[in-house]
Structure 1
Amino acid sequence: MIVKAELGQRFLLTGSRFCSQRSLSPERREEADKSGEPAGGGRKRRRGGGEDLQEYPVMVDRRIQIVWLQLRSLPSRHASHIVDEHPTHLLSLSVVLLNFLSPSETGPTPRVSFSLGSPGRFLTRFSSPDVSNTTTLLLSEDGDVLYVGSRDAVLALDVSHQDAITLKGKLDWSPSEKDLEQCSMKGKKMSDCPNFIRVLQFLNSSHIYACGTFAFSPRCTYINSETLTMSLKPDEGRGRCPYDPYQRNTAIIVDGELYTGTVADYRGNRPVISRHLSEGRRVDLKLDDTLGWLEDPTFISSTVVPDEEKIYFFFSEVGREYDFIDKFIVSRVSQICMSDIGGQRTLQKRWTTFAKAQLLCQADNELPYNVIQDIDTLLPAEGAPADDTLFYGIFTSQWSVNSGRSAICSFRLSDIKSVFSGNYKVLNRDTLQWSTRVQEKVANPGECGLHNASDNALRFVKENFLADDSVRPVGRTLTMVSPEHRYSHLSVQRVQAANHRDYTVLFLLTESGYLHKAVLLQSGAHIIEEVQVFEQLQPVKSLKLSIPQGVIYVGTSEGVVRIPTSNCSVYWTCPQCILARDPFCGWEPNSRVCVEVKSTKIPLVQDVDRGNVEEACSSVSLTHRSRFSSTKLSAGELVSVSLNEVVRLQCPPSSRLSQQQWERPNSRLSPDLYLHLEDGSLSFVATPTTLGHYLCLSTENSFQQTMAIYHVKQKSSNPPPSSHPITQAGGRLGPRLLTSEGPQRTESEPVPEAEQAEPTQSSKNPQTPTSEAKDSPRWTEESGPRGSEFGKERPLMWSRGPCYLKELVVVSVLLVLCISLLITVLLYVFRQRCRSRTTIQAGTPPRDSGSPVEQEALRGHCGSKRNGKALHSGQGGMVCNGALTGSNGHLPNTPI
């Protein structure tokens, strides 16, 4: 083990040095070898064991775990041999060890969850039997019409009404039978040969430009947005739309020109970023195919920064600057200038302003999230410079150690511009290795206006298009990490709260079909809620946010779903409205309702940063609210039970971030009598000791509220039960958004109407949030709960759940009875045997008693017979040779 530990340290140091030198010039690498210092200039960090570990640039291959496991299973001498013979594995193993040493992260938990069809979150759906693959969305400027690109059709949906989505128009655009036959002859599946609309952009105020795969022969056309008819005959769409419907692409139209990122051939081997629909002296441009400017990319998104007159493309590709066993995927951002018209002799009809850089979404000493999944742009606030533009992206990892995890990283436009204005890498055509260019710059790659530059300058930018530095996230940290959810799409919005502060809200769609709404705070990300969008897993290709309408549109393979960005009415008390920490919502103290901030000009109560109920709701009565009556019922919810009956009291939590606890008046809940279940409910057997009042408390963010009050009472008259029945009582005094059971009642007693309790809420010391509940009772059996009020809307919920406690008790009793009976029988048999032996031994003379004469006479008397009959002297039997015999020499009463 000591040898292997030394090898592990050797892996870390050597691997870090090896990694750092891979991207250095030969001169700097030689100097590093001579000095013995790490060439990467990384600083040393001290870990728990005291070793100094080098900070490393992360580059990993997929076989690192297998190599490490093999090393652990080998003897020390073989492990040393691997180190000497396979130095390329040093980097991989160092990354694994550093990842093991790093602490595991826990992501934020959604505060509340709304299941599909929940009344707390109303969703609007559109689907039709003849419509599928509604995955490309385009929203009109006024937000009243949603254009949808689907399979063999373009739809116009009327979304102006809040309660319904209706079909306004439909344009059928499907391939002919001949086109489908040719697609099938190319070896493609018939299910992939229809026309899948992949490009849908506004060309101007009256027309839409659309492109589709069209049986693996892309076509594009102009569509009148009012009549939804084709204005011109479709033309070829190569380089504008992918051939394969499964290939990702991106497209954007700016000033009537189409900028796309896709593939330009049938096999998908020619990726291209190009410009189309150019007019005047401007020509269509594309990348030079022979330079390897793109390495098997997967295009994600594209956006325009008007003040910069640049188009930015986001994609992932193979990082050729890294040398590994398997392909190492990196995320990229590339730029082109809208004013680019190509070179005069060099780079004719090619981009002269193309440059790309790596997006690095990584925390310190951890594996990077290197595969970008989606990205959205957050424009700067009003009056702020364009450099404050932020890009929020979803990143995942290509390694199994981070499988199922997602990370959110944000990048600032000023940082991207700084990387593009720095140094660039150069490719050695002989060795096919990248290194940092140390020579003087002939031109600045990525700079606009190079179309008039000299041929020497254009050749320089032609060979120097990969930035040397990587774009780091804002604050050099991850915005959010989710170890349990894998996100696929996101939208971002800046929301102004009641205090006129701006907050960033992310809408994240998981692969399992849930939409998360998260607000970014100084203390970290807080997931306000999660809403289930669809039940069964299905491909999601588009997520469109309409800020003016306050809704989100999700395009799936089966239809379109609309979700409101907020629903403040679900928070029906001031504490719930404050604890939600939703910048969309605030508490209106006069009408005592939670409303949207933008819907009123009345000052609202809100605390997004801390969620402090005691301060925010100080002017609001925590025990008197408009929705509840003032009638007090100290008994609580009545639960009538029989003795020896299993009782289960429900306690719905106020949120998924709260903690539940139970209390009894003037007594503590002994673990010998009570069972606290994982769902917060309390289970026990009804006995004279356990009868009485029970109070369930929920604590969240140092604020405590009463969620349920019960009075467990013995039934007045009831025959003895044959077994242990189960009474399950559930009441809900707090939020109504987490339970869905209907009202039920027991068979013994009806529940009095209008006798239901309101939560009793109180603020506690944040340092000791539970001491009061444990040490001092809040109420007594005589007076009932303090400050508890009962409203009119809380139903009594009775149900019989699958509990096997009574079966366990019956089986245990039967087992004890059987064991007792068996022991009794064994004792009786043993006693009888002992008594029989004692009787026999008492009637038998000793074998050595009497004189020899007497023994001889006795033997002779036993053996003498007359006429075949044994002689006897009037006795029915005698003892002979230690055996009791009768007149015939056998046992008495035994037939011969």
Structure 2
Amino acid sequence: MENPSLLSLTVALLGFLSPCLTKLTPRVSFPMGTPGRLLTRFSSHDVGNTTTLLLSEDGDMLYVGARDAVLALDVSYKDAIILRSKLDWSPSEKDIEQCSMKGKKMIDCSNFIRVLQFLNTTHIYACGTFAFSPRCTYINSETLTMRLKADEGRGRCPYDPYQRNTAIIVDGELYTGTVADYRGNRPVISRHLSEGRRVDLKLDDTLGWLEDPTFIRSSFIPDEEKIYFFFSEVGREYDFIDKFIVSRVSQICMSDVGGQRTLQRRWTTFAKAQLLCQADNELPYNVIQDIDTLPPAEGAPADDTLFYGIFTSQWSVNSGRSAVCSFRLTDIKSVFSGNYKVLNRDTLQWSTRVQEKVTNPGECGLHNASDNALRFVKENFLADDSVRPVGRSLTMLSAEHNYSHLTVQRVLAANNRDYTVLFLLTESGYLHKAVLLQSGAHIIEEVQVFEQPQPVKSLKLSIPKGMIYVGTSEGVVSVPTANCSFYWTCPQCVLARDPFCGWDPASRACVEASNTHAGLCQDIDRGNVEEACNTVSFTHRARFGPNKLPAGELVSVSLNEVVQLQCPAASQLSQQLWERPNSRLSSDLYLHLEDGSLSFVASPATLGYYLCLSTENGYQQTMAIFHVKQKSSTMTQIPTRYTWPEAHHIPTTNSVARPWPGLHTSLGTWPKTTETRLGETEATLSNRDTQVTTRQRGRNVTLWTEESGQKEAEFRDGEPLLSARARCYLKELVVVSVLLVLCLSLLITMFLYVIRQRCRSRTAPQAVTPTRESDRRTPVEQEALKGNRFLSKRNEQASGLVCNGALTGSNGHLPNTPI
């Protein structure tokens, strides 16, 4: 056994070797209730845990396994989900009481439907936990009625509603992966409902073929006549660490009927191998969360079947990350046809010693093999090699989103190329639509489908209806796979890089790509607007984007007021830029905020027009236009000429030759003339081909621009529009400097004067205080002094002389000083 500390050091080193992750940001986000992405919901106060979904072949009916009920939902309408019928199937009070006595919660003692499969064209086979005592039954798919007596469901359905399981019916036989006991200690992969000479099969419990597995999904490959099971379990072959989780793929043959003497009623074709979702120099993402099968393209061999899975890691280094890996069927078959590990029954240790290969484990037809061959299969069922992902690399890696479920679809784009689109469900309640490109994964959009994180969810894709159904504890949500009408212009339709959507020049709309639409503008790989939309005129748009944001909005402000101009983002991948005619936005005057808005203090230098541009993938478009004007009661008309700078456009776009992009993506010109008369609250700017209407802030403003090719424009307003060139403050600087010098000189002079007065007061004769002097004078002298003081007061009232802030005597000398 290897040293655990050495493993920890290896984990840490591999973590540092991991390359920097590329942030995967959805281009457009639709929170719950957003008008741009309308969803259809079904919920009922008496229905919960609608997490098991079964879709009819034509896609018109969705059967839902819920808590204590089976529902039949009509989903034939695009904008409605209608409850057609409901079958109540709940345990009796006695069953619930027995479940509660075993220490289970009352809420968990309900009947959670966990198996829902079509048995034939008329019946559905359903199994539920039934108060920790699984039951199964047959349900008529037309009337949604069940037969009176239910069958024992052990080995077909889990006891615990929180345990994951998988089930699939092929040719009337049920293949399941679940646990076969109350405590969940007996995992089994088994076959049920066998008839005739075929018998039900399961794994040998004593062989340790499964080690505490978590079943994820099963898939049937018709050309191989095999069932593949995907799950995660403890990897006993790694004995250097306790409970090291590995992801597995196992196979069994449909023709298997068990051995004649050895492995009677047991699988003879069971084999398993490790799924290794790992990039070079990185730790593996070893815990599988979900997997879906992508059939091969039309005309391609079955070996091109792909399995897309979501994987997480048990290592803290990769905590919070989700990886998507794809595995090819031909690689899985190659691993199963290779060497196998040997299990020592005495020490329960695996080894890879070279031995004579009696037979190939996993090969179909071994039920007729000899006992010696079956004993070899019985002890050699773990493939020595691991199944590597396609391209030996990760298909997608996200550090921001924790994915739990996925479904995959192949889409034929307008260029007759197939693109793989993944629909990924996050734990936080968002559904991501991502297209796989050579440059990496591109998340087209995210849609919030439920509010609170939930442990049990499911996805069901209906390709004929173009819908994805999400089953949650809150209800069922239908999400259209395409949302083309959200994109109002050709550039937005192309920048979305959605294989489902393309711009139709004839109808001037973004439509779903299909065989009926030819000549659609689309560029999935690069998203190049200039090349894809070269046949589309940008000179007119009747609507300004999906949110109908105003353009040319008049903003009336007062001087020294803080102004903040909001600019809507074209997408979460775009960058917002602010510009002014004939001016550069200095960082000393302007503050660019994180949300793309512009903040500044209103001053004569900051009044005028502001243009917000959005740049994405080399394409630039106008998002907002503001006219910041000082509030004034009287206005004069002073014409001012502006020239828009030539070098502010990105040279790779169609807007290079256009100095003023118009509404949304139109390429018009800067309005030539603006006139505002005294007392008007609305100004209309018009010329031969241009009309601009502005209103006070808070009202809708429209802008039509149909003239192009102008490089210069004139503005005339009710007040002078200051030139955006930098003002010269030399005169102001000189005046301020002179005033500062004068103030300093005055302060110094006063300081010297105070010091001089203090020096004089020290050398001057001291005056006697009146109190003490009055005590030494005779009564005659005191009466004389009183008379002098009376005369002094009268003189002061008459003359009111004040010198240096002190009153003077009648002779002009300071009081109390000798004459």
Q: Same fold (TM over 0.5)?
A: yes
Superposition pairs of residues 227-376 of structure 1, within 5 angstroms: 227-376=143-292
State the number of aligned residues. 696
Asked whether the equivalents of residues 640 and 714 of structure 1 are also in contact (C-alpha less than 8 Å), the reply is yes
Q: Return the match for 1:841 from 749, 757, 762.
A: 762
Alpha-carbon distance between aligned partners in 2 of 1:87 and 1:546, rounded to the nearest angstrom = 51
One-letter amino acid of the structure 1 residue matched with residue 626 of structure 2:
Y
Which residue does the alignment assign to 1:679? 595
Which residue does the alignment assign to 2:714? 782
Which residue does the alignment assign to 2:517? 601
Superposition pairs of residues 667-816 of structure 1, within 5 angstroms: 667-717=583-633, 733-734=663-664, 749=681, 751-752=694-695, 756-757=702-703, 782=714
One-letter amino acid of the structure 1 residue matched with residue 553 of structure 2:
E
Alpha-carbon distance between aligned partners in 2 of 1:452 and 1:247, rounded to the nearest angstrom = 36
Alpha-carbon distance between aligned partners in 2 of 1:844 and 1:167, rounded to the nearest angstrom = 114
Asked whether the equivalents of residues 540 and 706 of structure 2 are also in contact (C-alpha less than 8 Å), the reply is no
Q: Does 1:110 align with 2:11?
A: no
Asked whether the equivalents of residues 122 and 141 of structure 2 are also in contact (C-alpha less than 8 Å), the reply is yes
Displacement, 1:757?
Answer: 3.0
RMSD of the TM alignment (CA)?
3.2
Which residue does the alignment assign to 2:496? 580
Please give the secondary structure, in 2, of the residue aligned with 1:507: strand
Alpha-carbon distance between aligned partners in 1 of 2:219 and 2:283, rounded to the nearest angstrom = 28
Q: Return the match for 2:44 from 128, 131, 152.
A: 128
One-letter amino acid of the structure 2 residue matched with residue 600 of structure 1:
T
One-letter amino acid of the structure 2 residue matched with residue 322 of structure 1:
Y
One-letter amino acid of the structure 1 residue matched with residue 702 of structure 2:
Q
Asked whether the equivalents of residues 551 and 702 of structure 2 are also in contact (C-alpha less than 8 Å), the reply is no
Q: Against the structure 1 CA distance between its residues 203 and 696, is the aligned structure 2 distance closer, same or farther, given a 3 Å change threshold? A: same
Displacement, 1:169?
Answer: 0.5
Displacement, 1:184?
Answer: 0.8
Farther off after superposition, 385-394 or 700-709 = 700-709
Which residue does the alignment assign to 2:505? 589
Q: Does 1:157 align with 2:73?
A: yes
Please give the secondary structure, in 2, of the residue aligned with 1:529: strand
Displacement, 1:598?
Answer: 2.0
Q: Does 1:379 align with 2:295?
A: yes
Please give the secondary structure, in 2, of the residue aligned with 1:583: coil
Asked whether the equivalents of residues 504 and 520 of structure 1 are also in contact (C-alpha less than 8 Å), the reply is yes
Displacement, 1:135?
Answer: 0.6
Displacement, 1:251?
Answer: 0.2
Which residue does the alignment assign to 1:647? 563
Which residue does the alignment assign to 2:638? none
Alpha-carbon distance between aligned partners in 2 of 1:635 and 1:184, rounded to the nearest angstrom = 65
One-letter amino acid of the structure 1 residue matched with residue 764 of structure 2:
G
- CA deviations over 1:844-890 (Å, ceiling 9, x no partner): 69xxxxxxxxxxxxxxxxxxx9xx969999999xxxxxxxxxxxxxx
Over the matched positions of the two proteins, sequence identity in percent amounts to 80
Asked whether the equivalents of residues 296 and 305 of structure 2 are also in contact (C-alpha less than 8 Å), the reply is yes
Which residue does the alignment assign to 1:553? 469
Q: Does 1:436 align with 2:366?
A: no
Farther off after superposition, 752-761 or 241-250 = 752-761
One-letter amino acid of the structure 1 residue matched with residue 384 of structure 2:
D
Alpha-carbon distance between aligned partners in 2 of 1:122 and 1:735, rounded to the nearest angstrom = 25
Unaligned runs of 5+ in 2: 636-660, 667-678, 683-693, 717-743, 767-771, 786-814
Q: Against the structure 1 CA distance between its residues 320 and 666, is the aligned structure 2 distance closer, same or farther, given a 3 Å change threshold? A: same
Q: Against the structure 1 CA distance between its residues 783 and 233, is the aligned structure 2 distance closer, same or farther, given a 3 Å change threshold? A: same
Alpha-carbon distance between aligned partners in 1 of 2:460 and 2:128, rounded to the nearest angstrom = 20
Asked whether the equivalents of residues 12 and 317 of structure 2 are also in contact (C-alpha less than 8 Å), the reply is no
Alpha-carbon distance between aligned partners in 2 of 1:421 and 1:254, rounded to the nearest angstrom = 25
Which residue does the alignment assign to 2:418? 502
Alpha-carbon distance between aligned partners in 2 of 1:759 and 1:215, rounded to the nearest angstrom = 69
Q: Against the structure 1 CA distance between its residues 842 and 635, is the aligned structure 2 distance closer, same or farther, given a 3 Å change threshold? A: farther
Alpha-carbon distance between aligned partners in 1 of 2:328 and 2:564, rounded to the nearest angstrom = 54
Please give the secondary structure, in 2, of the residue aligned with 1:331: strand
- CA deviations over 1:720-740 (Å, ceiling 9, x no partner): xxxxxxxxxxx995399xxxx
Please give the secondary structure, in 2, of the residue aligned with 1:181: helix
Query: What is the TM-score of this pair, normalised by structure 1?
Result: 0.74
Which residue does the alignment assign to 1:139? 55
Alpha-carbon distance between aligned partners in 1 of 2:232 and 2:663, rounded to the nearest angstrom = 51
Alpha-carbon distance between aligned partners in 1 of 2:456 and 2:517, rounded to the nearest angstrom = 38
Which residue does the alignment assign to 2:808? none
Please give the secondary structure, in 2, of the residue aligned with 1:598: coil
Alpha-carbon distance between aligned partners in 2 of 1:583 and 1:133, rounded to the nearest angstrom = 33
Displacement, 1:367?
Answer: 1.3
Which residue does the alignment assign to 1:521? 437
- CA deviations over 1:706-729 (Å, ceiling 9, x no partner): 11112212222299xxxxxxxxxx
Alpha-carbon distance between aligned partners in 2 of 1:658 and 1:134, rounded to the nearest angstrom = 38
Please give the secondary structure, in 2, of the residue aligned with 1:782: strand
Displacement, 1:338?
Answer: 0.4
Displacement, 1:154?
Answer: 0.4
Which residue does the alignment assign to 1:469? 385
Alpha-carbon distance between aligned partners in 2 of 1:329 and 1:837, rounded to the nearest angstrom = 93
Unaligned runs of 5+ in 1: 1-21, 23-85, 720-730, 737-746, 763-776, 785-822, 846-864, 877-891
Q: Does 1:613 align with 2:534?
A: no
Q: Against the structure 1 CA distance between its residues 685 and 179, is the aligned structure 2 distance closer, same or farther, given a 3 Å change threshold? A: same
Alpha-carbon distance between aligned partners in 1 of 2:307 and 2:348, rounded to the nearest angstrom = 33
Displacement, 1:687?
Answer: 1.0
Farther off after superposition, 376-385 or 590-599 = 590-599
Farther off after superposition, 383-392 or 321-330 = 321-330
Asked whether the equivalents of residues 499 and 524 of structure 2 are also in contact (C-alpha less than 8 Å), the reply is yes
Asked whether the equivalents of residues 571 and 735 of structure 1 are also in contact (C-alpha less than 8 Å), the reply is no
Alpha-carbon distance between aligned partners in 1 of 2:544 and 2:507, rounded to the nearest angstrom = 14
Alpha-carbon distance between aligned partners in 1 of 2:78 and 2:394, rounded to the nearest angstrom = 37
Q: Does 1:400 align with 2:316?
A: yes
One-letter amino acid of the structure 2 residue matched with residue 584 of structure 1:
F
Alpha-carbon distance between aligned partners in 2 of 1:449 and 1:255, rounded to the nearest angstrom = 19
Q: Against the structure 1 CA distance between its residues 709 and 605, is the aligned structure 2 distance closer, same or farther, given a 3 Å change threshold? A: same
Please give the secondary structure, in 2, of the residue aligned with 1:311: strand
Which residue does the alignment assign to 2:641? none
Q: Against the structure 1 CA distance between its residues 689 and 344, is the aligned structure 2 distance closer, same or farther, given a 3 Å change threshold? A: same
Farther off after superposition, 645-654 or 241-250 = 645-654
Please give the secondary structure, in 2, of the residue aligned with 1:290: helix
Q: Against the structure 1 CA distance between its residues 472 and 748, is the aligned structure 2 distance closer, same or farther, given a 3 Å change threshold? A: farther
Please give the secondary structure, in 1, of the residue aligned with 2:63: strand
Alpha-carbon distance between aligned partners in 1 of 2:503 and 2:467, rounded to the nearest angstrom = 22
